[in-house]
Amino acid sequence: MAHYDIFNGDADGICALIQLRLAEPRSSVLITGVKRDIKLLSKVGFDEGDTATVLDISMEKNQEALRHALRDGVKVFYADHHRAGDIPEHKGLDAHINTASNTCTGLIVDYYLGGRYREWAIVAAFGDNMLAAANEYCQQLGLSPEQTALLSRLGVVMNYNGYGNTEADLYYTPAALYQVAVCYESPFEFIAKETEVFNTLTTGYDDDMAKGITIKPDRESETAAMIALPDERWARRVSGVLGNELANRYPDRAHAILTALPDKQGHYQISIRAPKNNPAGADNLASQFGGGGRKGAAGINDIAEKDLPVFWQALECTYA
């Protein structure tokens, strides 16, 4: 019998698992990937009696594999904040699903654990751009502005590290980053001890963001903007965090960040960010084009160039 830890490769997925494994250490097989690699359950060949922890990947996108696993006798702990679809009623499933626009998986796990490793939950929230929740918890813990800024920085760069077409685009594979970070009960200790990792991510983020923020939108209105990034590694890395930064700078505007697929000419990935002042509709918009996500942020893994005008119309209509 084996246990599998199956988690999204962004800050939220990693920090959610860090909290659980600090609280409940156990040997496991790690199943993860780049942030957009969300159909992870289908990658596991479960045997009867196996167990699994599934974090920060849409249940809706993993329905078939989940039902197969439950039917085969696998016990599953599932925590997530993305679209869930129909949650199976099964004695083998322990589901903690909350799709509210002001939460993330790290915060769901924090609630489950009674706040035992709240600093890591704060990192998760900052990484998922849940700024209000993250700042509120920082205040409750009595953290200084400097400490709050440090946790924010860590969340942002851990999230940044999850974006790419493949793991070759990343500075660290999500599994490797998790294995380093889980050794520390506090993210402050991680930052102090793992200076090379922290500095690599922060320098990479700053360099990539400096390039991305200068690119002008291809299309723009009062309520939406669409920015096309070049077919380069830095652009694939920055695609998600650039959307977060623009959402924070222009809170009444939705943003779509297009990144060319390197192995499929004329096709793109899109990161969608709803307006910060109206964090809704991104998941429904993405689902119209085969994508998914949550209310405030979502993505499309593959869209043809010929379909971009239709997508732009849908983006404008969603947030008009």
What's the confidence (pLDDT) of residue 180?
98
What's the confidence (pLDDT) of residue 139?
98
Dist. CA 62–CA 232, nearest whole Å:
30
Q: Which of 315, 317, 284, 282 is nearest to 296 (CA)?
A: 282
Tens of pLDDT, residue by residue, the chain (320 residues): 999 999 999 999 999 999 999 999 999 999 999 998 999 999 999 999 999 999 999 999 999 999 999 999 999 999 999 989 999 999 999 999 999 989 999 999 999 999 999 999 999 999 999 999 999 999 999 999 999 999 999 999 999 999 988 999 999 999 999 999 999 999 999 999 999 999 999 999 999 999 999 999 999 999 999 999 988 999 999 988 899 899 999 999 999 999 998 888 899 999 999 999 999 999 999 999 999 888 899 999 999 999 999 999 999 999 98
Dist. CA 311–CA 119, nearest whole Å:
38
What's the confidence (pLDDT) of residue 99?
93
In this structure, are residues 264 and 168 in contact, taking their beta carbons and an 8 Å threshold? no
Question: Please, what is the end-to-end C-alpha distance for the chain in angstroms?
Answer: 52
Q: Which of 49, 48, 14, 12 is nearest to 31 (CA)?
A: 14
Dist. CA 53–CA 44, nearest whole Å:
12
Domains of the chain listed by start with CATH number? 3-203 (3.90.1640), 219-319 (3.10.310.30)
